[in-house]
Structure 1
Amino acid sequence: MLISDRMLLKVIVLGDSGVGKTSLMNQYVYKKFNKQYKATIGADFVTKELHIDDKLVTLQIWDTAGQERFHSLGVAFYRGADCCVLVYDVNIQKTFETLQTWHEEFLK
């Protein structure tokens, strides 16, 4: 396959603490699930390469900490992002209600 163009997309995964952001990211990139919960501290990122038409697209997926104490770090992680994925827990209504706040913070 001849790749004529390369593209990098920075994707930020946002949502309250414990909603499954890390699990979602690990399932998408590594096709693995870990039952043990370990809170993300600050942020972490992984990459995944995709071939779309004749382009090589590298996704840089940033997993952010959902705890309030790490919100001030968000601005630095959001810089240069192309999009965000908003994640909530279907069993906890409050995590859905806070998505608007996460979205607004991302757009700043």
Structure 2
Amino acid sequence: MANNKDDVPKFKLILVGDGGVGKTTFVKRHLIAESEMKYASRLPVIVRPFNFYTNLGEIIINVWDTAGQERFGGLRDGYYIDAQCAIIMFDVTSRISYRNVSQWHKDIIRICGNIPIVLCGNKIDVKHRKLKAKSITYHRRNNMQYYDISALSNYNLEKPFLWLAQKLTGNDNLQFVSQIPLLPPEINLDPDMLREYELQLKEAASRPLTDDGDDDDEL
């Protein structure tokens, strides 16, 4: 990859999901100077450039943050145009935010076509999550990657970007070679709880999918 800053590969990422699932908290965990942020023309969107240093060189993923605009009747098509990858986020304490994942996905496909997408279940730091791993099957049916995340604890915040960077560059051997600069975690996760969640994800991945869509009876 190029060393000249102007030649660094740049990609547009759209971050979608219901209001209140933690999207803005997620992006604000990453340390970015205010001077580097930009506003999209004619759209109420903040564009945050995330610089990643990899074994193949530097890449920049420009994260488009809606700043809560989805609360006021959805997002305009201009938000999606020219996006090269996406993160769909839901809240593991909110069943409706997971049920709405399909509509966010349809909007992406309608405008962007078949781009790499990561599905993220945020707020796993909440002790009594309502959506367990066995209930989360949408990604398996729709060729997505899935990660449990916790924005407040910084858990797994780098993984969606690493997976997307590998797909965007067409190289699954790409790795980050420096730590992503993040704010200090606001909370600490229980290690035993994390191990249990990781085990549940592995077990869920091995379960056969049913023929009637997501396992809504488990929601």
Please give the TM-score of this superposition, normalised by the length of structure 1. 0.76
- 1: distance between equivalents of 2:50 and 2:28? 11
User: Does residue 89 of structure 2 align to residue 69 of structure 1?
Assistant: no
- 2: distance between equivalents of 1:10 and 1:62? 7
Please give the TM-score of this superposition, normalised by the length of structure 2. 0.40
Q: What's the offset of the Cα at 1:88?
A: 0.8
Q: Say if 1:7 and 1:55, in contact at 8 Å, map to a contact too.
A: no
Alignment of 1:23-102 (within 5 A): 23-27=25-29, 29-30=30-31, 42-64=44-66, 65-71=69-75, 73=76, 75-102=77-104
Q: Percent identity?
A: 21
Number of paired residues?
A: 95
Structure 1 unaligned blocks of 5 or more: 32-40
The structure whose Rg is larger is 2
- 1: distance between equivalents of 2:81 and 2:55? 28
Correspondence for 2:16 among 14, 17, 25: 14
Q: Which has the higher contact order (CA 8 A, sep 6+)?
A: 1
- 2: distance between equivalents of 1:43 and 1:88? 20
More strand by share: 1
SS at match of 1:30: coil
Aligned-partner residue type, residue 84 of structure 2: D
- Could you list the runs of 4 or more consecutive aligned residues of structure 1 that deviate by over 3 angstroms after TM superposition? none
- 1: distance between equivalents of 2:71 and 2:91? 15
